[in-house]
Structure formats: C-alpha cells, structure tokens
Structure 1
Amino acid sequence: MTTTPARSASFLLPVSFVALWSTGFIGAKLGLPSAGAFTFLTIRFAAVALLLALVSVVTRAPWPKTRREIGHMAVAGLLVHAIYLGGVFAAIGVGVEAGVAALICGLQPVLVAFAAGPLFGERLRPVQWIGLTLGLVGVVLVVAQKLALGLGTPAGVALVIFALLGITIGTLYQKRFCAGMDLRSGAVVQFAAATLALAPFATVLEGWRVEFTPAFIFALVWLVLVLSVGAITLLYVLIRRGAAAEVASLFFLVPPTTALMAWLLFGETLEPVSALGMATVVVGVALVNRSPRQPQN
C-alpha cells in the first residue's frame, strides 16, 4: 500500500512543477522588453550555473568523473535549455503570440508518447491515448483566440518548432543518458553548456542590449531561482520517478495555467472556450497519469 508521504509527493511534485513552469511566459513578458532574447537567457543561464556551482561546492556534491558523462549532460542541457528556451524566447521576441508558442510546444507529449515506446519499452494504454488526445484538444481550445490573431512570421513559427524538438528530444535524452546525474553538479554542466551556446548569438545579433529596469531584474531573479533551479529540478525528479510519456503529459497543463496567470496578473481576457479548454486538459492529463487498477485477490 502506498504511504501517505509517497502519495503527497506524487501529487505535490507535478502540481508544483506545472505551477512553476507556467510562470516562464510571465517572466518572458516582463523581461523581454528590456533585453534581447539571447542576452536575457545568457545572463540567466550564467547566473544559474554560478549559483549551482556554489551550492555544489558547499554541499559537496559529486561531480561527473568522465568526459562521456560530461558530454551527455552538456547535450541534454543544450536541448532542454538552449534550444527550447532560446527558440521560445526568440519567437516571442519577433512577434509570435505566447499562446501560439504554447500550442505548438503543447505537441510535445504526443511526440514523446510516440518515441517512448521504441526507446524505453513504454506502452500506453488506450485510456492514456484518449487522455493525450483530450490534452491536445484542450490546448487548442485555450489558445483559440491567439490563433485568430495569426501565427506571426514564418521565421517565428520555425523557431517554436525548433524549440518543440529541443524539449522533446531533451526529455528523452535526459531519461536515457542522464537519469543518474547529481541534480546540483549535473545542472552546472548543463547550464554552462547552454550559456556558451547562446553567448555568441547575444554578441552578434543583439550586442548585449539590456536595460536593468525593475521589471527586468525581477524577471531575471524569478527565472533564475524559480524556473531554472526550482522547476528544472522538479522536472528531472519527475523524469527519474515516472514514465517519460506521463511526465511529458504535464506540459499540456502549462498553456491553460499560463492563461489563468495572465488573466489574474495582467487582466488578459479569459473566454468561456478557454475555461472549457482548461477543464479538458485537466481531464486528459488525469487519464494519462491514471494508474491501472490492480487485480483483487
């Protein structure tokens, strides 16, 4: 029988992850007017790498011992941080609606579900496929108004698709090659790799344009501590504890949660169709993560 602490963890971990991860678009909305996308992310990644390096030293975290381990961690960091966040932030920076970006990235659970079978031997039950379908339908409903405004430039859409591939492959790569990494020292390697990857773009394309406004400073501190430390750590814990497809299904909850936050913080409209979409997403994720019934003796 599952203990009460285990049940609490199985509920609180995914709920906390979705709540924290969903603030990413809010942070982008606050910070991007004051800095270029790549500049913003490079500063953020460097700050996280330094912070976690200090934590690793103080807590005596074990460091990777071989180049192979470092290489796998760096690749995962490039996929999950540099490509995913770089693509999303750059797309928003060139005018792609946040809701449209969320919709495209909302396809990630479907891609992970298709890939998890051949890679990890994970087989989805029919009810889980129904849940994935409902989740995708719910995401479409939530961002229906954004779609009416257009997808933005073709280059922006391409950036979001690139980001989608990054987070999808990164989730699978992390589970396959970095499942046993220390979450402190391993994250240092990953964020350092992402910093080095994006710094040239910040230099060449943006000239390190940044204005240290109160909104930018708040967004930077929030994204460093809450997103890059808190949410990413939770993501890796969830990947380690659960099936890849079930973890990925949680990303279906991000667009509706972000829409709700934007409504509360910025007064953005939340139409009945969006509320219906949110409910559909919740049902879909519940079906994907539903445990099969155990036969009774």
Structure 2
Amino acid sequence: MNVLLSAAFVLCWSSGFIGAKLGAGSANAVTVLMWRFLPLALVLALVSALVARASWRGLTARDVLRQTVIGALSQSGYLLTVYAAIQLGVSSGTTALIDGTQPLVAGALAGPLLRQYVSRRQWLGLWLGISGVAVVTLADASAVHGVPPWAYAVPFVGMLSLVAATFLESRTRTPVAPSVAMTVHCATSAVVFTALAAAFGATAPPAEGSFWLAVGWLVVLSTFGGYGLYWLVLRRSGVTRVNTLMFLMAPVTAIWGALMFGEPFGLQTGLGLALALVAVLVVHRGERPVTTRGSSGRSAAPAPVDERAVQGGR
C-alpha cells in the first residue's frame, strides 16, 4: 500500500475526532451532523445523476437497501456515538482508542460468526487491546472531572455498530463502486440526522464562525478523506493493513488533542496506547491461513482470519 495513501488515511480519519471536538463547542451533536451531511448528500446525489450514472448500472433495489443499512451502521450510528461521547466530555484520544478496538473485536467475532479459526495469540491480542483501552479510560476519567461514568460506554456502542457494518459488507455479493456507496451512506446519514435534529428542535445552525469551520473540516477531511479512504484502502489492500492503520488513530488523535485542546496525555495514557499497539502486533503475528466450509460442505479458498472477516463474502 502506498505510504502517502496510508498517512493520508490515518490523518484524515483522526481528524474526525478533532472535528467533533471543534463542533461540540458551538452546537449540539445532531446539529453539527445534520449540517455536515445534508448539503453533502445533495451534492453527491447531483454528481451521481450527472457524472456517475454508469456506476449505478446493475444494482438492484436490494443492493441499495443493503448499502443503506451499512451506511446507517458504519456512518450514522458510529458518528452519533463519537460526537455524543466527546460532547459529554470524553477526550478525543480516549474515544479514538475505544473505536480503534474494532479490528480486534471483528477478528475475535470471525470465529463464532463466520466459523473461522481464531488462535490463542489472537485472543491474547484482543485482551491486550481491551487492557489498553481500560488504562487510557481510567487515566482520562481521573484527569477530567464532571464526565458521567456511563459516557465512556458510548464509544463502545459506535465501535460495535462499525463491526456490524463490517460483517454485513463481508456478505455483499454485488460489487458496489466507492462513489455509489458514499452517496448512499451520506444520503442515509442526512435523513437520519435531519430527523433527529428536527425531533430535538436543533435544526438551526449557530451564528458562530467556529461552527462552519468545524463543518467544513468534517466534510473535507473526515468524510471525503477519512471515510472515503477507509473503503478505498479496504478494497485495494485488504482489512489486515487497514486494521494496522486503525491502531495508529488513537496515538495520533491523543497527541493532536493534547496539542490543540490541552487534553490530558500523561504516563498512564502513553502506557495504554502502547498496550493497544502491542495488541495489533500480537494479532497480526497470530494470523494463519484458514479454510471455511459453506453449506455444500466444500472447502473455500484459504485466507487470513481477519481478512475474511471483512471480505469473506466477495
């Protein structure tokens, strides 16, 4: 995988947590998310109608519905929990680390859900990753006052939402162009967040320039950069490499948040981040070729465990 593409993905994905922090200071989470996705969805729909119509050929209503569900899980559900956690006071670095355990959880669930072998080393990596999350979370909770304890569970919900979307994507038989997937996902998010903002009476954007700075930051860097590059890198290079990059998000975000917002970054935070990085090394060293069986009883082609956790359906 191209080094520049990898670096761009890490920075752009991490920028989403920083942008959420920027937006949290000027408006409600659903207000920021509504204005992030509503204009974007309209632009993408127009581009699809005028330029990318060929990408939609061959897709059925069922294919579009599946992408709608994937978008609701991987974008709407995931982002809502990230923004809510940060608005509740959870640091951007802690939120990024909790969300960054997604590859470990997906790898662990590959066994019971996809009938794939998960080694003891991979289970060890999962527990190391969880330990790192616990260490950083405790450090964050002790350094920041006024954050309800249950707020630290909110990012876990978003992480599980992304895991669910990953497994649903793994069972997608029809290839879907990244431009089509992004259009459907953003349109889904626009509908979801507009409905939520209307329900809470939070559709009106604030007058502060910082709000529109946060929205522009999120659209350009996070949506087109982070979210777009996530699926691009996933399809070009596979989930194993994406997983490795995902574990770089937490340290990058923690350092970025400390420099930009003065968020806590002490010895305990560094130890927790180190445990998370060790966890991914343990998991990837524990990969082995596996053979899965379908309903016909015939063996499928060997593939790494977590590679097929995302791409087994294609």
| The two structures share one fold, judged by TM-score above 0.5 | yes
Matches within 5 A, 1:219-234: 219-234=214-229
Matches within 5 A, 1:75-154: 75-120=69-114, 122-148=116-142, 149=144, 152-153=147-148
The structural deviation recorded for 1:272 is 2.3
Unmatched tracts of structure 2, length 5 or more: 290-314
Match of 1:237 in 2: 232
CA distance in 2, matches of 1:39, 1:17: 26
CA RMSD in angstroms comes to 3.1
Aligned pair count reads 286
Contact 2:103-2:243 at 8 Å conserved across structures? yes
Match of 2:308 in 1: none
Question: Secondary structure of the residue that 2:171 maps to in structure 1?
Answer: helix
Contact 2:102-2:162 at 8 Å conserved across structures? yes
CA distance in 2, matches of 1:273, 1:161: 21
Match of 2:261 in 1: 266
Match of 2:51 in 1: 58
Structure 1 pair 70–30 and aligned structure 2 pair: CA distance change class (3 A): same
- Cα offsets for 1:80-129 (capped at 9, x unmatched): 11111112212333444445544543443332122223444554444444
- Cα offsets for 1:161-206 (capped at 9, x unmatched): 4323211111222232277211112211111011111212101213
Question: Secondary structure of the residue that 1:184 maps to in structure 2?
Answer: helix
1:205 to 200, 208, 211: 200
- Cα offsets for 1:43-102 (capped at 9, x unmatched): 111233234334443355511631001100100000011111112212333444445544
Contact 2:104-2:125 at 8 Å conserved across structures? no
TM-score by length of 1: 0.81
Letter in 2 for 1:62: S
Letter in 1 for 2:67: M
CA distance in 2, matches of 1:263, 1:277: 15
Question: Secondary structure of the residue that 2:177 maps to in structure 1?
Answer: coil
CA distance in 1, matches of 2:125, 2:152: 26
Match of 1:279 in 2: 274
CA distance in 2, matches of 1:118, 1:243: 21
Stretch moving more, 113-122 or 169-178: 113-122
1:48 to 40, 53, 58: 40
Structure 1 pair 123–248 and aligned structure 2 pair: CA distance change class (3 A): farther
Structure 1 pair 267–150 and aligned structure 2 pair: CA distance change class (3 A): closer
Unmatched tracts of structure 1, length 5 or more: 1-7
Identical-pair percentage: 35
Contact 1:141-1:277 at 8 Å conserved across structures? yes
Letter in 1 for 2:195: P
Letter in 1 for 2:131: V
Letter in 1 for 2:34: T
Question: Secondary structure of the residue that 1:34 maps to in structure 2?
Answer: coil
CA distance in 1, matches of 2:132, 2:44: 36
Stretch moving more, 243-252 or 262-271: 243-252
1:37 to 14, 17, 29: 29
- Cα offsets for 1:114-159 (capped at 9, x unmatched): 2223444554444444443333333333343213247934764564
Contact 1:35-1:209 at 8 Å conserved across structures? no
CA distance in 2, matches of 1:115, 1:292: 14
Question: Secondary structure of the residue that 1:263 maps to in structure 2?
Answer: helix
Letter in 2 for 1:201: L
TM-score by length of 2: 0.77
Question: Secondary structure of the residue that 2:265 maps to in structure 1?
Answer: coil
Structure 1 pair 110–291 and aligned structure 2 pair: CA distance change class (3 A): closer
Contact 2:68-2:185 at 8 Å conserved across structures? yes
Contact 2:99-2:156 at 8 Å conserved across structures? yes
Match of 2:168 in 1: 173
CA distance in 2, matches of 1:238, 1:120: 23
Structure 1 pair 269–90 and aligned structure 2 pair: CA distance change class (3 A): closer
Stretch moving more, 143-152 or 230-239: 143-152
